[in-house]
Structure 1
Amino acid sequence: DMCGTVRGKRFPSEEADKVFTSGVQMPQSIYFFDVTGVNEDILGMGFSDGDPDAQAHPVSGSIVPVPWASMRQAQVLMTMVDHEGTPLML
Protein backbone atom coordinates (compact mmCIF):
# COMPACT_ATOMS: atom_id res chain seq x y z
CA ASP A 1 0.00 0.00 0.00
CA MET A 2 1.00 3.68 0.05
CA CYS A 3 2.63 3.28 3.48
CA GLY A 4 4.79 0.32 2.46
CA THR A 5 2.70 -2.40 4.09
CA VAL A 6 2.51 -5.55 1.99
CA ARG A 7 -1.09 -6.45 1.18
CA GLY A 8 -2.37 -9.13 -1.11
CA LYS A 9 -4.01 -12.47 -1.65
CA ARG A 10 -2.71 -16.02 -1.64
CA PHE A 11 -3.41 -18.38 -4.51
CA PRO A 12 -2.51 -22.05 -4.95
CA SER A 13 0.00 -22.76 -7.72
CA GLU A 14 -2.79 -24.39 -9.76
CA GLU A 15 -4.34 -20.93 -10.20
CA ALA A 16 -1.15 -19.23 -11.42
CA ASP A 17 -2.24 -19.32 -15.06
CA LYS A 18 -5.48 -17.50 -14.19
CA VAL A 19 -3.62 -14.86 -12.17
CA PHE A 20 -1.21 -14.17 -15.04
CA THR A 21 -3.80 -14.24 -17.85
CA SER A 22 -6.99 -12.81 -16.33
CA GLY A 23 -5.76 -11.08 -13.20
CA VAL A 24 -7.65 -11.10 -9.90
CA GLN A 25 -10.23 -8.91 -8.21
CA MET A 26 -8.98 -6.68 -5.39
CA PRO A 27 -10.81 -3.91 -3.49
CA GLN A 28 -9.91 -0.42 -4.73
CA SER A 29 -9.76 0.74 -1.12
CA ILE A 30 -6.47 -1.13 -0.70
CA TYR A 31 -4.81 2.15 -1.77
CA PHE A 32 -6.37 4.11 1.12
CA PHE A 33 -5.16 2.35 4.27
CA ASP A 34 -3.15 4.51 6.65
CA VAL A 35 -0.07 3.39 8.60
CA THR A 36 -2.28 1.78 11.25
CA GLY A 37 -4.31 -0.22 8.71
CA VAL A 38 -7.41 1.99 8.95
CA ASN A 39 -9.32 3.04 5.84
CA GLU A 40 -10.63 6.55 6.43
CA ASP A 41 -12.97 6.49 3.38
CA ILE A 42 -10.85 9.06 1.57
CA LEU A 43 -12.67 10.96 -1.20
CA GLY A 44 -15.82 8.94 -0.48
CA MET A 45 -14.08 5.80 -1.71
CA GLY A 46 -14.16 2.64 0.39
CA PHE A 47 -17.08 2.03 2.73
CA SER A 48 -19.36 4.78 1.40
CA ASP A 49 -19.21 3.64 -2.25
CA GLY A 50 -19.53 -0.09 -1.45
CA ASP A 51 -15.78 -0.72 -1.75
CA PRO A 52 -15.84 -1.87 -5.39
CA ASP A 53 -13.25 -4.25 -6.77
CA ALA A 54 -10.84 -3.54 -9.60
CA GLN A 55 -8.84 -5.98 -11.70
CA ALA A 56 -5.25 -6.51 -10.52
CA HIS A 57 -2.64 -7.75 -13.00
CA PRO A 58 0.95 -8.89 -12.36
CA VAL A 59 3.75 -6.43 -13.09
CA SER A 60 5.94 -7.99 -15.78
CA GLY A 61 9.19 -9.44 -14.45
CA SER A 62 8.29 -8.99 -10.77
CA ILE A 63 7.73 -12.62 -9.75
CA VAL A 64 10.35 -13.80 -7.26
CA PRO A 65 10.70 -16.73 -4.84
CA VAL A 66 9.97 -16.23 -1.14
CA PRO A 67 13.21 -17.56 0.41
CA TRP A 68 12.02 -17.41 4.03
CA ALA A 69 8.88 -19.51 3.42
CA SER A 70 8.89 -23.07 4.75
CA MET A 71 7.21 -24.31 1.53
CA ARG A 72 8.01 -23.28 -2.05
CA GLN A 73 6.28 -19.95 -2.65
CA ALA A 74 6.59 -16.96 -4.93
CA GLN A 75 5.35 -13.40 -4.81
CA VAL A 76 4.54 -10.93 -7.55
CA LEU A 77 3.77 -7.21 -7.63
CA MET A 78 0.36 -6.31 -9.02
CA THR A 79 -1.10 -3.15 -10.56
CA MET A 80 -4.80 -2.35 -10.70
CA VAL A 81 -6.90 -1.25 -13.67
CA ASP A 82 -10.48 -0.06 -14.03
CA HIS A 83 -13.22 -1.82 -16.02
CA GLU A 84 -11.81 -0.34 -19.26
CA GLY A 85 -8.26 -1.54 -18.58
CA THR A 86 -6.94 1.92 -17.67
CA PRO A 87 -4.54 2.01 -14.70
CA LEU A 88 -6.27 3.27 -11.55
CA MET A 89 -5.19 6.80 -10.75
CA LEU A 90 -6.50 7.24 -7.22
Structure 2
Amino acid sequence: MKLRRRRQILKGLERLRRGERPPGYTGREMAGLIGIDPSWIFRKINRGQILLEKDARYGCYLFPKTRSTVDQMKKLKSGKVLQVSFP
Protein backbone atom coordinates (compact mmCIF):
# COMPACT_ATOMS: atom_id res chain seq x y z
CA MET A 1 0.00 0.00 0.00
CA LYS A 2 2.68 2.48 0.95
CA LEU A 3 4.70 1.66 -2.17
CA ARG A 4 1.69 2.18 -4.44
CA ARG A 5 0.87 5.45 -2.74
CA ARG A 6 4.46 6.66 -2.93
CA ARG A 7 4.68 5.87 -6.65
CA GLN A 8 1.12 7.09 -7.28
CA ILE A 9 -0.03 3.75 -8.66
CA LEU A 10 -3.83 3.76 -8.53
CA LYS A 11 -5.80 0.54 -8.44
CA GLY A 12 -9.41 -0.23 -9.34
CA LEU A 13 -12.05 2.05 -7.87
CA GLU A 14 -9.39 4.36 -6.49
CA ARG A 15 -8.96 5.62 -10.07
CA LEU A 16 -12.63 6.57 -10.14
CA ARG A 17 -12.42 8.32 -6.79
CA ARG A 18 -9.48 10.36 -7.99
CA GLY A 19 -11.40 11.59 -11.03
CA GLU A 20 -10.23 9.31 -13.85
CA ARG A 21 -13.21 8.86 -16.15
CA PRO A 22 -14.05 5.28 -17.16
CA PRO A 23 -15.27 4.37 -20.66
CA GLY A 24 -18.78 3.56 -19.38
CA TYR A 25 -21.42 4.40 -16.79
CA THR A 26 -20.90 3.06 -13.27
CA GLY A 27 -23.84 1.45 -11.48
CA ARG A 28 -24.42 4.64 -9.51
CA GLU A 29 -24.38 6.80 -12.67
CA MET A 30 -26.79 4.46 -14.45
CA ALA A 31 -29.13 4.53 -11.46
CA GLY A 32 -29.12 8.32 -11.59
CA LEU A 33 -29.93 8.31 -15.30
CA ILE A 34 -32.99 6.11 -14.92
CA GLY A 35 -34.09 7.48 -11.55
CA ILE A 36 -33.70 4.49 -9.23
CA ASP A 37 -31.67 3.45 -6.19
CA PRO A 38 -28.24 1.98 -7.09
CA SER A 39 -28.92 -1.11 -4.97
CA TRP A 40 -31.69 -2.07 -7.45
CA ILE A 41 -29.09 -2.40 -10.21
CA PHE A 42 -26.76 -4.54 -8.12
CA ARG A 43 -29.62 -6.82 -7.02
CA LYS A 44 -30.56 -7.35 -10.68
CA ILE A 45 -26.92 -8.14 -11.54
CA ASN A 46 -26.76 -10.70 -8.70
CA ARG A 47 -30.06 -12.29 -9.79
CA GLY A 48 -28.89 -12.57 -13.40
CA GLN A 49 -31.41 -10.14 -14.85
CA ILE A 50 -28.60 -7.80 -15.90
CA LEU A 51 -25.80 -9.68 -17.63
CA LEU A 52 -22.68 -7.56 -17.28
CA GLU A 53 -19.09 -8.40 -16.41
CA LYS A 54 -16.84 -6.35 -14.17
CA ASP A 55 -14.32 -4.17 -15.94
CA ALA A 56 -10.83 -5.63 -15.50
CA ARG A 57 -9.10 -2.26 -15.17
CA TYR A 58 -11.47 -0.59 -12.71
CA GLY A 59 -12.82 -3.66 -10.91
CA CYS A 60 -16.44 -2.48 -11.09
CA TYR A 61 -19.44 -2.90 -13.36
CA LEU A 62 -19.39 -0.47 -16.30
CA PHE A 63 -22.37 -0.05 -18.62
CA PRO A 64 -21.67 1.04 -22.22
CA LYS A 65 -22.20 4.78 -22.74
CA THR A 66 -24.92 4.53 -25.37
CA ARG A 67 -28.51 5.66 -25.62
CA SER A 68 -29.67 2.09 -26.26
CA THR A 69 -28.14 0.99 -22.94
CA VAL A 70 -30.21 3.55 -21.06
CA ASP A 71 -33.32 2.57 -23.05
CA GLN A 72 -32.80 -1.14 -22.26
CA MET A 73 -32.42 -0.36 -18.56
CA LYS A 74 -35.61 1.71 -18.58
CA LYS A 75 -37.45 -1.22 -20.19
CA LEU A 76 -36.13 -3.54 -17.48
CA LYS A 77 -37.24 -1.09 -14.81
CA SER A 78 -40.75 -0.86 -16.26
CA GLY A 79 -41.04 -4.65 -16.63
CA LYS A 80 -41.23 -4.71 -20.44
CA VAL A 81 -38.24 -7.07 -20.57
CA LEU A 82 -37.08 -9.63 -18.02
CA GLN A 83 -33.36 -9.59 -18.79
CA VAL A 84 -30.80 -7.33 -20.46
CA SER A 85 -27.30 -8.14 -21.61
CA PHE A 86 -24.31 -5.91 -22.29
CA PRO A 87 -21.01 -6.94 -23.90
Do both proteins adopt the same fold according to a TM-score greater than 0.5, normalized to the shorter chain? no
Larger relative contact order, structure 1 or 2 (CA cutoff 8 Å, min sep 6): 2
Higher helix content, 1 or 2: 2
State the TM-score, normalizing by the size of structure 1: 0.22
State the TM-score, normalizing by the size of structure 2: 0.23
